[in-house]
């Protein structure tokens, strides 16, 4: 039986693997030609080798890295089986990660739907809210005059360590009381909603995971401007005073972007809300 040999181009065509990839496999010692012409340096592959390319392909398909495939080539069938068992849990983890992405995406969509449902601007309205899990950080120096984005960076970094989705919503918390000037208003916490139900580790000492309770809230929403902030706050405050509503001790302020381009002027909707008891 005479053995057939293929040039690298023939092999590429036969196996749907590019010449570049075959050269690379040779370089890293994953799949070497059976013969290299010493004069021309042309690579030749024998028919019996094709089989091993299929093994490489199928391990790649199940997410095994080229380095791991190289190690797997030395396995006995029993070792390969135990390797496949480990690979199963790798795939299981990836599926779980996709589930989390799906869940986060769903929650993001819900947030967008809620934002689009805010059509009553500049007047007080009552709204039912689901519970909202947040990551918050204690502060005492921030006011509506100045909330540097950098302040949120520590929250964002914590979420990134957790490999969790960012919500693109930012919030602040401050005491509910009469304010005659914005200078009096100091945030006690800033926060970002969590899009995951996972337990968050890696918290710094000033951070906390809390839940803003479900229930009825008195709210007001407006396009953020420093000049009109206090007027809107006072509208909400007087509404509650007038109706003698029993409310929680703090105001939640949530920022929602109206555009997503770094090249445009940034515009945010702010929603202030306070829990009805």
Q: Which of residues 250-269 bind its own copies (CB under 8 A)?
A: 256-263, 266
d(CA 65, CA 232): 57
Phi, psi of 124 (to 5 degrees): -75, 140
Q: Print the binding letters for residues 34-53 with its own copies: x by CB under 8 A, - otherwise.
A: -------------xxxxxx-
Q: Candidates 27, 39, 40, 78: give the one binding its own copies (CB under 8 A).
A: 78
Structure tokens at 184: 């009096």
What is the number of other CB atoms lying within 10 angstroms of the CB of residue 236?
A: 20
Provide, rounded to whole angstroms, the least separation between the CB of residue 191 and its own copies. Answer: 14
The yes or no reply on residue 58 touching its own copies (CB under 8 A) is yes
Residue nearer to its own copies on the CB measure, 158 or 218: 158
- Per rule CB under 8 A, is residue 202 in the interface with its own copies? no
Q: Residue 240 CB, nearest distance to its own copies (Å)? A: 29
Query: Does residue 165 touch its own copies according to CB under 8 A?
Result: yes
Residue from 40, 113, 181, 242 binding its own copies (CB under 8 A):
113
User: Taking contact as CB under 8 A, which single stretch among the options 36-44, 55-63, 182-190, 240-248 is the one that binds its own copies?
Assistant: 55-63
Q: How far apart are CA 81 and CA 76, in angstroms?
A: 9
- 252 CB neighbour count, 10 Å cutoff: 23
DSSP 249: S
The angle, 0 to 180 degrees and rounded to 10, between the axes of the packed helices 8-15 and 50-61 is: 50
């Amino acid at each position: 039986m005479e053995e057939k040999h293929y040039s690298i181009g023939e092999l590429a065509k036969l196996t749907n693997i590019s010449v570049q990839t075959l050269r690379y496999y040779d370089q890293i010692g994953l799949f070497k030609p059976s013969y290299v012409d010493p004069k021309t340096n042309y690579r030749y592959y024998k028919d019996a080798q094709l089989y091993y390319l299929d093994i490489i392909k199928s391990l790649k398909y199940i997410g095994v890295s080229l380095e791991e495939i190289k190690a797997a080539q030395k396995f006995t069938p029993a070792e390969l089986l135990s390797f496949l068992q480990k690979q199963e849990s790798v795939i299981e983890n990836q599926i779980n990660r996709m589930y989390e992405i799906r869940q986060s995406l769903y929650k993001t969509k819900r947030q967008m739907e809620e934002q689009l449902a805010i059509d009553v601007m500049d007047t007080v309205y009552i709204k039912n809210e689901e519970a909202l899990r947040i990551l918050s950080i204690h502060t005492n120096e921030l006011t509506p005059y100045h909330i540097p984005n950098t302040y949120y960076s520590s929250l964002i970094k914590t979420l990134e360590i957790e490999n969790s989705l960012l919500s693109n919503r930012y919030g602040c918390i401050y005491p509910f009381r009469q304010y005659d000037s914005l200078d009096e208003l100091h945030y006690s916490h800033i926060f970002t909603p969590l899009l995951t139900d996972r337990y968050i580790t890696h918290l710094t000492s000033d951070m906390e995971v809390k839940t803003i309770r479900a229930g009825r809230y008195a709210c007001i929403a407006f396009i953020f401007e420093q000049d009109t902030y206090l007027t809107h706050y006072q509208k909400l405050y007087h509404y509650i005073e007038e109706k003698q509503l029993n409310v929680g001790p703090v105001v939640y302020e949530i920022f929602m972007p109206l555009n997503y381009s770094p090249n445009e002027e940034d515009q945010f909707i702010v929603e202030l809300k306070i829990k009805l008891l």
